[in-house]
A and B are shown apart, each in its own frame.
Chain A
Amino acid sequence: MGVAEIFESMEYGPAPEDAGPAMAWLEGHGRAFGHWIGGAFTAAGETFDSRNPATGEVLAAVTQATQGDVDAAIAAARKAQPGWEKAGGAARARVLYALARLVQKQSRLFAVLETLDNGKPIRESRDIDVPLVARHFYYHAGMAQLMADELPDRRALGVCGQIVPWNFPLLMLAWKVAPALAMGNTVVLKPAEYTSLTALLFAELSREAGVPPGVLNVVTGDGAVGERIVAAEVDKIAFTGSTAVGRRIREATAGSGKALTLELGGKSPYVVFDDADLDSAVEGLVDAIWFNQGQVCCAGSRLLVQESVAEDFLARVRRRMDGLRLGDPLDKCIDVGAIVDPVQLDTIRGLVDGAPGEVYRADVAVPDAGCFYPPTLITGLSPADRLMQEEIFGPVLVSTTFRTPAEAVALANDTRYGLAATVWTENVNLALDVAPKLAAGVVWVNGTNLFDAAAGFGGVRESGFGREGGWEGLTAYTRSAADAPKLKAPQAASAPKAATVEGIDRTAKLYVGGKQARPDGGYSRAVWSGKGALLGHAGLANRKDVRNAVEAAEKAAAWGRTTGHLRAQILYYLAENLSARGPEVADRIAALTGAKGKEAEAEVAASVDRLFTWAAWADKHDGRAKGVPIRGVALAMNESVGVIGVFCPHEAPLLGLVATVAPAIAMGNRVVAVASEPFPLAATDLYQVLDTSDVPGGVVNILTGDHAELAPHLAGHLAVDAVWSFSGADISATVERESAGNLKRTWVNHGRGRDWTRTDADAFLAAATEVKTVWIPYGEG
Chain B
Amino acid sequence: MATEPTPIRAAPAAPDDHARNPGLALDMDWIRGVQANTSAIERRAATLPGRRSVKKAWQAAWLLRAITLIDLTTLAGDDTPGRVRRLCAKARQPVRPDLLEAMGMGPITTGAVCVYHEMVETAVRALEGSGIPVAAVSTGFPAGLSPFRLRVAEIEESVKAGAAEIDIVISRRHVLTGDWSALYDEMRTFRAACGPAHVKAILATGELGTLRNVARASFVCMMAGADFIKTSTGKEGVNATLPVSLTMIRAIRAYEAATGVRVGYKPAGGISKAKDALTYMALMKDELGDPWLRPDLFRFGASSLLGDIERQLEHHVTGRYSAGYRHGMA
Contacts and interface: CB of A to CB of B under 8 A. Distances in A.
B61 A15 contact: no
Contacts of A777: 39-40, 43
Given A12-B52, A127-B47, A333-B51, A6 B40 contact: no
B65 interface: yes
B39 A276 contact: no
Interface residues of A, number: 41
A313 to B, nearest CB: 12
Given A10-B65, A11-B58, A283-B44, A3 B37 contact: no
Contact of B58 (A13, A126, A426): A13
B40 A335 contact: no
Interface in A498-546: none
Contact of A780 (B47, B212, B253): B212
A327 interface: no
A446 B64 contact: no
B285 interface: yes
Given A15-B53, A278-B35, A780-B212, A323 B40 contact: no
A1 B250 CA distance: 32
A14 B57 CA distance: 10
B40 A13 contact: no
Contacts of A14: 55, 58
A123 B51 CA distance: 6
Given A3-B103, A283-B44, A426 B65 contact: no
Interface string A249-279: 0000000000000000000000000011111
Interface string A327-340: 00000110100000
A13 B57 contact: yes
Contact of B51 (A275, A281, A335): A335
A698 interface: no
Contact of B39 (A3, A279, A281, A631): A631
Contacts of B52: 12, 332-333
Contact of B38 (A2, A15, A630, A779): A779
* Interface bin, chain B: 35 or more
Of B54, B104, B209, the most chain A CB neighbours within 10 A belong to B54
Given A3-B61, A6-B61, A781-B209, A275 B54 contact: no
B38 A4 contact: no
Q: Is the contact region of chain A dominated by helix, strand, or loop, or is it mixed? A: loop
A323 B106 CA distance: 31
A280 interface: yes
Given A10-B285, A283-B44, A123 B50 contact: yes
Contacts of B286: 323
B105 A7 contact: yes
A630 B210 CA distance: 19
Contact of A13 (B50, B56, B103): B56
A385 B253 CA distance: 34
A276 B56 CA distance: 40
A280 B57 contact: no
Contact of B41 (A6, A12, A280, A632): A280
A447 B53 contact: no
B192 interface: no
B38 A632 contact: no
Contacts of A446: 37, 39-40
Given A7-B65, A777-B40, A275 B35 contact: yes
Contacts of A127: 47, 50
Interface string A266-309: 00000000011111110110000000000000000000000000
A25 interface: no
Contacts of B57: 1-3, 6, 13
Contacts of B293: 10
A281 B37 CA distance: 9
Interface string A726-739: 00000000000000
A14 B54 CA distance: 7
B40 A277 contact: yes
B54 A3 contact: no
Given A2-B57, A332-B53, A778 B39 contact: yes
Contacts of A426: 35, 37
Nearest to B44: A283
B105 A3 contact: yes
A447 B40 CA distance: 6
Nearest to B313: A3
B211 A7 contact: no
Contacts of A4: 61, 103-106
Nearest to B1: A4
Contacts of A333: 51-54
A447 B43 contact: yes
Nearest to B60: A3
A632 B105 CA distance: 49
Of A6, A11, A126, A335, the most chain B CB neighbours within 10 A belong to A6
Contact of B211 (A2, A630, A781): A781
Contacts of B53: 15, 332-333
Contacts of B186: none
Given A446-B40, A447-B40, A631-B39, A6 B209 contact: no
A3 B42 CA distance: 33
A635 to B, nearest CB: 15
Nearest to A334: B51
B38 A781 contact: yes
B50 to A, nearest CB: 5
Of A3, A8, A10, A778, the most chain B CB neighbours within 10 A belong to A3
A780 B210 CA distance: 6
Of A4, A7, A284, A632, the most chain B CB neighbours within 10 A belong to A7
A14 B58 CA distance: 8
A12 B57 CA distance: 10
A279 B40 CA distance: 10
A278 to B, nearest CB: 7
A275 B35 CA distance: 8
Contacts of B290: 10
B36 interface: yes
Contacts of B47: 123, 127
A277 B246 CA distance: 13
Interface string A1-34: 1111111101111110000000000000000000
Contacts of B281: 10
Nearest to B284: A10
A92 to B, nearest CB: 33
A509 to B, nearest CB: 57
A526 to B, nearest CB: 67
Interface in A677-694: none
B10 interface: yes
A268 to B, nearest CB: 18
Interface in A753-781: 777-781
A446 B38 CA distance: 10
B222 to A, nearest CB: 16
Nearest to B210: A781
A724 B10 CA distance: 73
Contacts of B285: 10, 12
Contacts of B51: 123, 333, 335
Interface of A: 1-8, 10-15, 123, 126-127, 275-281, 283-284, 323, 332-333, 335, 426, 446-447, 630-632, 777-781
Interface of B: 10, 35-44, 47, 50-58, 60-62, 64-65, 103-106, 209-212, 250, 253-254, 281, 285-287, 290, 293
27 contacts: A1-B57, A3-B103, A3-B104, A4-B105, A4-B106, A6-B57, A6-B61, A6-B62, A7-B65, A10-B62, A10-B281, A11-B58, A12-B52, A14-B58, A15-B54, A123-B51, A127-B50, A275-B35, A278-B35, A283-B44, A284-B40, A323-B286, A332-B52, A426-B35, A446-B37, A447-B40, A779-B38
Given A3-B60, A13-B55, A275-B35, 13 more contacts: A1-B57, A10-B281, A12-B285, A13-B57, A14-B58, A126-B50, A278-B35, A281-B40, A335-B51, A446-B37, A779-B39, A779-B42, A781-B210
* Nearest 3 A/B pairs, CB to CB: A13-B58, A6-B61, A280-B40
